[in-house]
A and B are shown apart, each in its own frame.
Chain A
């Protein structure tokens, strides 16, 4: 019983970490600019398609495809941010919602046109297949890999935010944009960089997700809800919040289904509503 519980925890945590990589970028950019970017999941989809295409068409190894997914999403996000999204920072949340939903429609149509509606399969290298025995538990190697990647991303983000100049600027801008501007920071530039990083992470998350949840043109819509839950429960602009929120969501989802399969599917929504009712800013939100 204990070992089964541990496995459930492990699986849930791994799923949560996947959601973390997918959503942490949105949390930071929403905290920074109050920009409601519902197209975030579409960057994840792009990352997924880039990874699948590179591996299947060009035989690129998985480990090389992951950074490519990151950079492709980051690059596209810079272009879109410079040309389109920046016009919307002061446009009001409803227009942001409308515009970004519109762009998800466009992204889904383009993906359908280019890649078709078929489920994409990612050819996993053999060292990531199967499971290993750790402390008497059979753990899926790929899930261990996801957790490792997510922890590395967390470490880099925390280090970056705490120790670098850009990180300090981002934190200051999240706390109080007006003051940051007053101190002579170029908030728009900080945001552009953060936006690219966040979208890149979504792209990385998308590439990682293919093996677990599959990939088709509706990816951008399908995972939007999960991403939003992580962001809202964790609290805007907080890496820690997204981490805890994602872990909670993943573990809560899996544990709920394991112990109470009849109500498992709506348990997470119930938990989210309860948390947000008590803490409207999320677990780690500041404002």
Chain B
């Protein structure tokens, strides 16, 4: 009955799914283009890379594990402040260790929050993530002795990377640093997505009721990915603090949480590249539209979002995949 020609080789098939495609290699090569062709856009490119890393962190929980969150700026901001505070209050200016520290702090808070998060679903989940985000914002505002309150944290000073590369006016170092951060974060996420743990997460997303019936402690999975995601978001926040030498309450606010979800859905969830593409499109569109008309640009952003939903319900990457006739994965 089994036809050898039709029967797939399971090992080869699974291996192929984790293999780097030429598109991916071309994509990452293309991220170097701004250095040569758009040198005056490097500060923007740097902030796009940071937003993209943040979007990837949200994709891990939202796209791969099905946890819808409206409060992820909480971890972005905690990372931003952690990196800022060790520099401005404790004089620790070395950037790489600062990044790690911020990731650890955000991850620790994420781990604690995960006990709440994995026990609720749907609207309650949305509102609890939103509530925790707002709570953190108010807390940071109240703790102005530590955070600087609404004026923002002052006196952040970041040493040159490896003691050599100073953050310059053109944003060359900032972009190289943010891009490296994004790439490492992406590699880690890609590894997770193509691991057995990534498969388990997709299982949770696809059918949370079935998971216990195959013997899975799915809440442990969810806590683990939530913690990892929080740490990544924290590192994204720390990158923003270090590349701009600023940290403000705006890193924690609801708008940032909403924006990142918007970027992710815009690009397409559950694809890693969706977050990167969404962040790039959203921020470039905003920059260009705001350049044309600083007062009404958000009309066109709103228009774009509505248009994408009506024409490409699976996000831009989903739409592209469909156009290319590829199997929708």
Residues of chain A whose beta carbon lies under 8 Å from any beta carbon of chain B: 30, 84, 87-88, 91-95, 97-99, 101-110, 112-113, 221, 225, 228-229, 231-232, 236, 262-263, 265-266, 269-270, 272-273, 276-277, 280-282
The smallest beta-carbon distance between B243 and chain A, in angstroms, is: 27
Residues of chain B whose beta carbon lies under 8 Å from any beta carbon of chain A: 62, 68, 116, 119-124, 126-128, 130-132, 134-135, 138-139, 141-142, 254-255, 258, 261-262, 265-266, 269, 295-296, 298-299, 301-306, 308-310, 313
Q: Are A99 and B305 in contact (CB under 8 A)?
A: yes
In the bound complex, how far is the Cα of B310 from the Cα of A91, in angstroms? 9
Q: Are B142 and A265 in contact (CB under 8 A)?
A: yes
Contacts A98-B309, A105-B302, A231-B123 known; list 15 others, CB within 8 Å. Answer: A94-B265, A97-B261, A98-B266, A102-B305, A102-B309, A106-B302, A107-B302, A112-B295, A113-B296, A232-B124, A266-B135, A269-B134, A269-B138, A270-B135, A280-B122
- Closest B residue, CB atoms, query A224: B254
Q: Are A103 and B306 in contact (CB under 8 A)?
A: yes
Q: A105-B298, A262-B142 are in contact. Are A95 and B313 (CB under 8 A)?
A: yes
Q: A101-B258, A276-B128, A277-B120 are in contact. Are A94 and B135 (CB under 8 A)?
A: no
* Sampled A-B contacts (27; CB under 8 Å): A30-B123, A93-B68, A94-B265, A95-B309, A98-B262, A98-B265, A101-B258, A101-B262, A102-B309, A103-B306, A105-B298, A105-B303, A108-B298, A113-B299, A229-B131, A265-B138, A266-B138, A270-B135, A272-B127, A273-B131, A273-B132, A276-B124, A276-B128, A280-B121, A280-B124, A281-B124, A282-B123
In the bound complex, how far is the Cα of B262 from the Cα of A4, in angstroms? 45
In the bound complex, how far is the Cα of B123 from the Cα of A232, in angstroms? 7
In the bound complex, how far is the Cα of B255 from the Cα of A101, in angstroms? 11
The smallest beta-carbon distance between A93 and chain B, in angstroms, is: 7
The smallest beta-carbon distance between B147 and chain A, in angstroms, is: 14
- Closest B residue, CB atoms, query A217: B298
Q: Are B139 and A102 in contact (CB under 8 A)?
A: no
Count of A-B contacts judged by CB separation below 8 Å: 120
In the bound complex, how far is the Cα of B301 from the Cα of A107, in angstroms? 12
The residue that B139 contacts in the complex, of A91, A266, A280, with Cβ under 8 A, is A266
Complex contacts, B123 vs chain A, CB 8 Å: 30, 231-232, 236, 282
- Closest B residue, CB atoms, query A235: B123
Main secondary structure of the interface of B (DSSP, over half): helix
In the bound complex, how far is the Cα of B126 from the Cα of A30, in angstroms? 14
Q: A91-B309, A102-B302 are in contact. Are A266 and B124 (CB under 8 A)?
A: no
Q: Are A94 and B68 in contact (CB under 8 A)?
A: yes
The smallest beta-carbon distance between A30 and chain B, in angstroms, is: 8
Q: Are A102 and B301 in contact (CB under 8 A)?
A: yes
- Closest A residue, CB atoms, query B307: A102
Complex contacts, A232 vs chain B, CB 8 Å: 123-124, 126-127
Complex contacts, A105 vs chain B, CB 8 Å: 298-299, 301-303, 305
The residue that B299 contacts in the complex, of A109, A269, A273, A282, with Cβ under 8 A, is A109
The residue that A269 contacts in the complex, of B121, B131, B261, B266, with Cβ under 8 A, is B131
Complex contacts, A263 vs chain B, CB 8 Å: 142
In the bound complex, how far is the Cα of B135 from the Cα of A35, in angstroms? 26
Q: Are A91 and B313 in contact (CB under 8 A)?
A: yes
Q: Are A276 and B302 in contact (CB under 8 A)?
A: no
Complex contacts, A97 vs chain B, CB 8 Å: 261, 265
Q: Are A87 and B310 in contact (CB under 8 A)?
A: yes
Complex contacts, B135 vs chain A, CB 8 Å: 266, 269-270, 273
In the bound complex, how far is the Cα of B313 from the Cα of A282, in angstroms? 30
Complex contacts, A108 vs chain B, CB 8 Å: 298, 302
Q: Are B309 and A99 in contact (CB under 8 A)?
A: yes
The smallest beta-carbon distance between A211 and chain B, in angstroms, is: 26
Complex contacts, B68 vs chain A, CB 8 Å: 93-94
The residue that A276 contacts in the complex, of B120, B142, B295, B306, with Cβ under 8 A, is B120
Q: A95-B265, A98-B308 are in contact. Are A103 and B130 (CB under 8 A)?
A: no
